[in-house]
Amino acid sequence: IEWPFALILPYVFLFYVVFSFLEDTGYLPRIAVLADGVFRRMGIQGGNIIPLMLGFGCAVPAILGSRAANTYKERIMVAAMVSLAIPCASQSAAFMSLLGDRSLFALISVYLLSMFIVLMTGLVVDKIVPGRSQALLLEVPNLLLPDRQAFMKKLKLRLKHFFIDAEGPLLMGIVIASVIVETVLLNEFSKVIAPLVQGWLGLPKEASLALLLGIIRRELAVLPLLDLNLNTLQLIVGAVIALFYLPCLSVFAVLAKEFTVKVASLIVVVTIVSAFLFGGIVNHLGGLLLGLM
């Protein structure tokens, strides 16, 4: 029960403090201008970096923030990149808890992989989805110190939404996890997916709980691994799977509402396949490298 408060809340709070400060100073439009050259190569304008940055807090406001994009194609690209490979604040906190004490290199590698896949996703979706992006037209405001009262109100509002939208489902997931562990459901589920979990991913059968709960919240695909005695390679595999695992239920609902159920389902299928594909590749490549050393 301490997971949401001891492991996740401090990181989320710090993220919202920094992001709200950048937002209120007027620096975010400058970041958009600086990023425009790189984003143009992916087929979108630099202004879309703002909803992508929001994705590091929560994917839901990031997808809603894509409404500011000029074209439907850009909205699809932003939604795909956020859903596939940008970890939310809760997920990042779980990664740090999982890998921070074991290997800083492994933690950095997971985020470098995330950035690489975001770029590749943008390039691929740009080729698949028809249409063109428009030129960046953005007013760059003066840099100002944030108003303290407005800043605190915004911070409180975002933390309130986090408690309602994230902590509630997370606590529900913990209750479900307790029920599953105390019954035979986990054993039966583990038997069904044993070839995938133990054979392809190289994880113990108990890791099946993480895959099952990741459907509710992405970070729940990471947190159960903390209680298992995993080696460094297994921890990296678990982090990679959680990075690409399907968006949580609230993200799927927003995707279906903002686009269509077909688009939301397609993104979910792509995330699941990517999670198991990349997780298995990391497991086998890591095992091969360890065998050669």
Tell me the mean pLDDT in the region 149-162: 87
Judge whether 79 and 60 are in contact, CB under 8 Å: no
Three-class secondary structure of residue 166 per DSSP: helix
| HSE of 128, CA atoms in CB hemisphere, 13 A | 9
| Model pLDDT, residue 262 | 92
Asked if residue 1 has pLDDT above 70, the reply is: no
Tell me the mean pLDDT in the region 30-51: 86
| Model pLDDT, residue 265 | 92
Q: If residue 65 lies in a helix (H) or strand (E), which one and from where to where?
A: helix 59-65
Overall pTM surpassing 0.85 (yes/no): no
Report angle CA 258, 125, 242 to the nearest 5 degrees.
75
pLDDT band at 117 (very low <50, low <70, confident <90, very high): very high
Residues 6+ apart with CB under 8 A from 254: 59, 60, 63, 64
Q: How do residues 256-280 score in pLDDT, each as one tens digit?
A: 988 999 999 999 899 989 999 999 9
Asked if residue 292 has pLDDT above 70, the reply is: no
**Amino acid at residue number 156:** K
Residue 219: DSSP 8-state: G
Q: How do residues 224-246 score in pLDDT, each as one tens digit?
A: 888 788 888 998 998 999 888 87
Residues 6+ apart with CB under 8 A from 266: none
